[in-house]
Amino acid sequence: MKTKIKQVTAATLIVLSLMVIGINASATKLTGCRIVESSLELEDWMTDETFWSTASVFVQVTDDNLVIEDWMTSENTWLVVEKAIEPELALESWMIDTENWNVDEPALALEVLTKK
């Protein structure tokens, strides 16, 4: 019984301390329905030219000239898969039967293309 009371007390203290830490926000104050933010201050480093100088920070990196190497053009490197030959598409009777389709308009003329 004592152990259970100690565990509940410890858990309560931990939860309360986390709530106090989470609620303690000094950057904004809630007054009514308006949020008032604290004023911002301009510091010296924010306007210092040497701090923001990009010449020393970024250096332009150049790549070597590109060269085609043997492995790039070798047929052994690349797996060449030929396209599978598919059968020609054919119209079936159910595709053009007007009873299968709810059509009140006259059917469109069917054009059959032939190979040249």
Q: Any alpha helices (H) in 24-103, and if so which ranges?
A: 70-73, 93-96
Least confident of 2-16, 62-76, 100-114: 100-114
- Whether pTM > 0.75 for this model: the answer is no
Which two tokens mark 11?
A: 């858990």
- Residues in a beta bridge with 30: 35
Q: What percent of the chain has pLDDT over 70?
A: 76
3-class secondary-structure state, position 12: helix
Q: Tell me the C-alpha distance between 3 and 55, whole Å.
A: 65
Q: Where are the alpha helices (DSSP H) in 1-116?
A: 2-23, 70-73, 93-96
